[in-house]
Structure 1
Amino acid sequence: MKPYREDVPSLSAQYPFGVVLTLPEKAIILIPARSSQSSYQDARILDESSIRRILWTFRADFTVVNGIRRLLVDETSFASHPNLLTGHQVVEAAIAATVAGHIFAVVAEPRPEQRAHDAINYLRLAARFFSADPAVQEAGFFAFLYRELPRLCCDAYAQMSSATDQIVQLNDQGYEFLFDVGAERVVAAFGITRYNPGSRDSARMAGFLGQAGSTDLQRIILQAGSAQGARNRLEKAQLTWRDRFFQAYGHHYDRGHFISHRQGGGLDINLFPQLADINQGRTRLGAEYRAMEKACVAKHGVDPVFCCSRPIYNDDSWVPVALEYAVIYSAQRIEFRTFPNRPSGGRRNGGGADDKAGDAA
């Protein structure tokens, strides 16, 4: 799978002195290696010919050349007095600094993906339930949700990037999961919530995207097509899960749960990379997400609650751009909201679905 690339606004927010080079099909941002939060191994341009071809395109761009001058002053020794250099000399110095690793040339998305994805219309679903035949109403709204949600979630998922039709439904810890076998990612997780008094299995969670064991490393060597390929794979496999994410998906992620541990959610299929600000409740939206999770924890003497957690994707990775979360008390009371799941450089939405909420009360 191709690596996830952060968009230009996100990277510009992290590196305010970075220099953005906008090309027809992509964007490059030059950032100071000394202050970089990642090696950007999978998203950097490393070969000299490519760097030269790109930078020479901008040799007459006054704004770009002045931005590069600032980078040369602050970060490298390739130009002792860059303010005295011509535009051509600045570009040559930048090429040398980039090849030497003093400046990173990071490939970024030219703009965040703005495609809106349809939310599950829970209010319309409730209206359909009330107009259904008496036998359906007698079975209850939650039974109606178990019957209707798989189709609705699959229909909504089919509009997303890289979705396949190889979707299976399985039960894990009492919750229903829809899983795209072709794209290897969760489509939705839902069910009547419960209370889990047990402690987290920290050892197993640590293995989620953890370092590879000796057996895994040996298998990687045997499966590699070349010695160089084996070295590249081993280098990545030996990274910690967080370092691996820094290289492939950007920053600020936790091991999130589609269905929280306290609600009785499990591990494995239930784990996904979740934006830490949301998962830990550090922002206004994060606090709302945590409150909705807590509302789903079953309580003694209180009617059960139905929960649906639905990731929204806008590329071919398994990292959602957003998470639609619904807490359903009854057909008359439904709360739902979409939470961002990508670093946004100050924007509210994670490059995709709108931040929205509803209540049928």
Structure 2
Amino acid sequence: MDAAIMIGSWRIDYQRIMKRLKGKSPRAKAEQFLDAVEQIWVSRYTGRSNRRSTPHWIDLEPGFTYVFDCTPEERLVVVYGFSGKPLGKRDAPRMQGFLGGSIKDVYPGCDKGHFIAHAMGGGLDINLFPQARTVNRGWCQQGYLYRSMERYCTANSGTFVFSRPIYGDESWKPHYLEYGVIRSDGSLWIGEFGN
């Protein structure tokens, strides 16, 4: 399937959804937003994939839910929740062992990125993916925006955030990452990042 066609068909009109929400507080808006989009995320993933998908909801870190496709490639559909404090010190040896060590040999130009940053409560394992180094480290315009969104969530504990990988083929490396935040004023901040 052509990645450009498949990726374009996965877009969701989030602003239209936000206009229908009645919640007054950012938390109430986030809960209503989640009620409106959770099944859309899953149906867009399962409807556009050539895979026989088996999504499972997994609560691993306090505050975050991972919707994970448990097919042979095992890949994330979406992760969402409320930012918080790191669960502990970063487990550097465990992260170094991800993908058997060096990621640059398997995925040139990539880092071992987090769907949800460690600084806001994200963990390892299904939270890790091959992420474009320039985005992960903030070395390009997209990367600067991505890091700004992560910093916002870290500085504002309790912020609703989601990370949705957009796949262009059957691998577990996303072609794009859709990242969304509901800010303290109740507005939605969305970014799409090439990978």
TM-score interval, smaller chain: 0.7 to 0.9
Q: TM-score, normalised by structure 2?
A: 0.86
Deviation at 1:331, TM superposition (A): 7.6
* Alignment equivalent of 1:319, drawn from 154, 164, 173: 173
Further displaced range: 163-172 or 152-161: 152-161
Q: Over residues 114-145 of structure 1, what are the superposed CA-to-partner deviations in whole Å (9 max), with x where a residue is unaligned?
A: 21233232222222322xxxxx7798122223
Over the matched positions of the two proteins, sequence identity in percent amounts to 35
Report the equivalent of 1:256. Answer: 113
Q: Over residues 75-110 of structure 1, what are the superposed CA-to-partner deviations in whole Å (9 max), with x where a residue is unaligned?
A: xxxxxxxxxxxxxxxxxxxxxxxxxxxxxxxxxxxx
Report the equivalent of 2:54. Answer: 166
CA spacing shift, 1:267–1:141, aligned 2, 3 Å: same
Consecutive aligned runs of 4 or more in structure 1 exceeding 4 Å deviation: 136-139
* Alignment equivalent of 2:12, drawn from 111, 120, 125: 120
RMSD: 2.3
CA spacing shift, 1:331–1:162, aligned 2, 3 Å: farther
Q: Does 1:205 align with 2:95?
A: yes
Aligned residues: 189
Q: TM-score, normalised by structure 1?
A: 0.49
- Asked whether the 8 Å contact 2:83–2:153 carries over to 1, the reply is yes
SS in 1 for 2:3: coil
Aligned pairs for 1:1-361 within 5 A: 113-115=3-5, 116-130=8-22, 140-174=28-62, 175-182=64-71, 183-196=73-86, 198-210=88-100, 240-243=102-105, 245=106, 249=107, 251-299=108-156, 304-329=158-183, 332-341=186-195
- Asked whether the 8 Å contact 2:103–2:112 carries over to 1, the reply is no
1:173 alignment partner AA: E
- Asked whether the 8 Å contact 1:273–1:319 carries over to 2, the reply is yes
CA spacing shift, 1:269–1:197, aligned 2, 3 Å: closer
Q: Over residues 315-350 of structure 1, what are the superposed CA-to-partner deviations in whole Å (9 max), with x where a residue is unaligned?
A: 110000000001112584111011000xxxxxxxxx
- Asked whether the 8 Å contact 2:177–2:194 carries over to 1, the reply is yes
Q: Which runs of 5+ in 2 are unaligned?
A: none
1:291 alignment partner AA: S
SS in 2 for 1:277: helix
1:150 alignment partner AA: E
CA spacing shift, 1:121–1:271, aligned 2, 3 Å: same
- Asked whether the 8 Å contact 1:173–1:264 carries over to 2, the reply is yes
Deviation at 1:197, TM superposition (A): 7.5
- Asked whether the 8 Å contact 1:119–1:324 carries over to 2, the reply is no
Specify which structure has the bigger relative contact order, considering alpha-carbon pairs within 8 angstroms and separated by 6 or more residues.
2
In the aligned structure 2, how far is the partner of 1:204 from the partner of 1:278?
A: 22
Q: Which runs of 5+ in 1 are unaligned?
A: 1-111, 131-135, 212-239, 342-361
- Asked whether the 8 Å contact 1:164–1:180 carries over to 2, the reply is no
Q: Over residues 56-80 of structure 1, what are the superposed CA-to-partner deviations in whole Å (9 max), with x where a residue is unaligned?
A: xxxxxxxxxxxxxxxxxxxxxxxxx
Q: Over residues 172-226 of structure 1, what are the superposed CA-to-partner deviations in whole Å (9 max), with x where a residue is unaligned?
A: 1120111111241000001011122743110110111115xxxxxxxxxxxxxxx
SS in 2 for 1:114: helix
Return the structure number with greater strand share.
Answer: 2
- Specify the structure having the higher radius of gyration (Cα): 1
Further displaced range: 290-299 or 308-317: 290-299
